[in-house]
């Protein structure tokens, strides 16, 4: 399958999916999300594939977030639908996958990019990677599960600090917080993710699938958090702060809140 915004390759039971919009720092526009759904779903039903690596093209960005240029005309209802559809078709698909999915974080993982990595089962980052959830600097909140998955991973205090300050942290800080499992040099990134996946591939695939399901069950999938996030994300689109935040980004200036 040929994609416009993804490069997909299969090797030694591993499917590698690279988000390929380098001039836009691999930002997730609608087409990229639709293609991601298709590529991940396809790898999950391909018998020979035992695991997936998600990464970004180039060495600057994994994914610098949702594509802000597509936000400009979105209203509250559309914002809610956007978050809902993305969460179900891509982020939950990855989170609940019956095969291991590793994020190979090769640079900036911001907003929807960090949320994409958080939905994966394991994260490996290069030492120059920067991670963060900068949505409040745009008058938004994370809308693809970031408020839930980051909190589950690092606890409420650290999650709130990262989300409310909108600050970026280094790969080393992310390692200390437990957001990433390993930090490696750029040249070792894919060797590290392949090594982990090939180890997992040597184990029982039915047991691996059951283990992912059981661990995910510990996160309380039935809570209302994701729904609350979607609703509040949608409401942000109706605010003057959102208009100012997105306009400022597009005009390459600091927002005035």
List contacts with ligand COA (CB under 6 A).
24-25, 27, 64-69, 108, 110-112, 134-135, 138
Q: Tell me whether residue 115 is one of the annotated catalytic residues.
A: yes
Q: Can you tell me whether residue 63 is helix, strand or coil?
A: strand
Per the listing, tokens 């661990």 go with 215
Least distance (Å) from ligand COA to the CB of residue 247? 13
Least distance (Å) from ligand COA to the CB of residue 122? 23
- φ, ψ for residue 139, nearest 5 deg: 80, 20
Least distance (Å) from ligand COA to the CB of residue 107? 9
Rounded Cα gap, residues 117 and 50, in angstroms = 19
Q: Which is nearer to ligand COA, 35 or 67 (CB)?
A: 67
Per the listing, tokens 């060797």 go with 191
35, 135, 173, 235: which one is catalytic? 135
CB 138 within 8 A of CB 150: no
Q: Which is nearer to ligand COA, 64 or 101 (CB)?
A: 64
Q: Which is nearer to ligand COA, 71 or 226 (CB)?
A: 71
35, 115, 235, 251: which one is catalytic? 115
Structure token digits, residue 11? 């090797």
Give alpha helix (H) positions in the chain.
30-45, 76-86, 92-95, 112-119, 146-154, 156-165, 171-177, 189-201, 205-217, 225-236, 240-250
Rounded Cα gap, residues 255 and 257, in angstroms = 6
Least distance (Å) from ligand COA to the CB of residue 112? 6
Least distance (Å) from ligand COA to the CB of residue 137? 7
Give me the sign of the Cα torsion angle 75, 81, 85, 86: positive
Q: Which is nearer to ligand COA, 225 or 255 (CB)?
A: 255
> Where in the sequence numbering do the catalytic residues fall?
115, 135
């Amino acid at each position: 399958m040929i994609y416009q915004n993804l490069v997909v390759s299969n090797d030694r039971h591993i499917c590698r999916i690279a988000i390929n919009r380098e001039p836009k720092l691999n930002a997730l526009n609608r087409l990229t999300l639709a293609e991601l759904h298709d590529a991940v779903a396809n790898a999950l039903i391909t018998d020979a594939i035992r695991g997936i690596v998600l990464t970004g093209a180039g060495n600057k960005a994994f994914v610098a977030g949702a594509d802000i240029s597509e936000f400009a005309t979105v209203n509250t209802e559309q914002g809610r639908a956007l978050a809902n559809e993305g969460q179900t078709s891509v982020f939950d698909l990855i989170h609940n996958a019956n095969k291991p999915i590793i994020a190979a974080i090769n640079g900036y993982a911001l907003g929807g990019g960090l949320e994409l990595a958080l939905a994966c089962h394991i994260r490996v980052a290069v030492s120059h990677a920067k991670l963060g959830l900068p949505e409040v600097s745009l008058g938004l909140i994370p809308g693809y599960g970031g408020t839930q998955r980051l909190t589950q991973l690092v606890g409420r205090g650290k999650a709130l600090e990262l989300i409310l300050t909108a600050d970026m942290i280094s790969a080393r800080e992310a390692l200390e917080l437990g957001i990433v499992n390993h930090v490696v040099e750029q040249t070792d990134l894919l060797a590290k993710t392949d090594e982990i996946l090939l180890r997992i591939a040597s184990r029982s695939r039915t047991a691996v699938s059951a283990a992912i399901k059981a661990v995910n069950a510990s996160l309380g999938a039935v809570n209302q958090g994701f729904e609350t996030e979607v609703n509040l994300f949608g409401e942000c689109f109706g605010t003057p702060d959102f208009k100012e935040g997105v306009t400022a980004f597009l005009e390459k200036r600091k927002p005035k809140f």
